[in-house]
Amino acid sequence: MNMSGPNSGIARFLTKICDLIFLNVVFILTSCTVVCLGAAVTALYMTAMELYRERDCTPVRDFLRNLRKVFTASTPAAVLLLADLTLLAVLYRVLYAETLLFPPELFVLFCIAAVMLTAILSWLFPLLACFENTFSRHLGNAVRLALANLPVTFFITAVNLLPILVLLFLPQFFGVFLGVWLLIGAAAGAYVNLFYLRKIFEQ
C-alpha cells in the first residue's frame, strides 16, 4: 500500500491543512478592515464548507469570490459582531481594572449578554453562508437553532471564544496559542464547527 501517494490519507490530510492555512491567512488579512469583517466571516464559512465537501476548491480565490458575493448581505451581521467584540473587550478591561468600574451584578449581566450574543452569531454566520434568506429570518433561525441544539451551541460558542478562554485561564500559553491561531485557528475553528452544523442543516 502506498502511504505517501497523492490519494493517500496522509497526503489528503496535509493538503487539507495547507488549504486551511491559506484560507486562514486571507481571512485574517481581510478581516483587519472593519468594513469587511462580517463578510469575511461569512466567506470563511462558505469556503470552509466547500473544503469540507471535498470540492475542487482554491481557498484564496474562492474566499475572495465569496467575499464579494456576501458583502452586502453580511452587513447587518457585521454590526452585531462589532457590538459583541466591543462588549467582550470592555468586559476584559473591566475584569483587570484596578478599580471597580461598575457593580459586579452588572458585570455578570454583561457577561451573560456577551455569551448569548456570541452563541447566536455562532449560528448566524454559518446560516448566512449556507442559505439564502432575509436577515431577519436568518437571525430568528439562529436563535431557534441555538436554543434547540444546546450541546452544539455550547461547543461552537466555546470554539469561537477559545482565544479569550486561553487568555483568561492559560495566559502563560497565550503567545504560542496566538501564533497558531493566526496561522490556522479561525479556518480550523470554522471547519470543526461545520462538522456539527452541517448535520443539523441537512436534516
Q: How confident is the model at residue 6 (pLDDT cuts 50, 70, 90)?
A: low
User: Is residue 85 within 8 Å of residue 53, measured between CB atoms?
Assistant: no
User: What pLDDT, on a 0 to 100 scale, did the predictor assign at position 1?
Assistant: 43
In a domain, 3, yes or no: no
Is residue 4 pLDDT above 70, yes or no?
A: no
* pTM of the entire predicted model: 0.92
In a domain, 13, yes or no: yes
Query: What is the phi-psi region of residue 44: left when phi exceeds 0, alpha when psi lies from -120 to 50, beta otherwise?
Result: alpha
Cell of 94: 473591566
In a domain, 2, yes or no: no
Question: Distance between CA 189 and CA 185 in Å, rounded?
Answer: 6
In a domain, 131, yes or no: yes
Q: How far is CA 165 from CA 47, 84, 98, 161, 174, in A?
A: 26, 15, 21, 6, 10
More reliable by pLDDT, 49 or 11? 49
Q: What is the DSSP letter of 102?
A: S
pLDDT digits 0-9 by tens, 13-23: 899 999 999 99
Q: How confident is the model at residue 147 (pLDDT cuts 50, 70, 90)?
A: very high
pLDDT digits 0-9 by tens, 75-102: 999 999 999 999 999 999 998 887 778 8
Residue range(s) defining the domain that contains residue 159: 9-201
pLDDT digits 0-9 by tens, 106-145: 999 999 999 999 999 999 999 999 999 999 999 999 999 9
In a domain, 189, yes or no: yes
Concatenate the DSSP letters of all residues of 56-77 into one string: ---HHHHHHHHHHHHTTTTHHH
In a domain, 95, yes or no: yes
pLDDT digits 0-9 by tens, 160-200: 999 999 999 999 999 999 999 999 999 999 999 999 999 99
Position 113, amino acid:
A
Q: What is the mean pLDDT of residues 146-161?
A: 98
User: Is residue 152 within 8 Å of residue 112, measured between CB atoms?
Assistant: no
Domain count, the chain: 1
Tell me the angle at which helices 9-31 and 186-201 cross, rounded to the nearest 10 degrees.
110
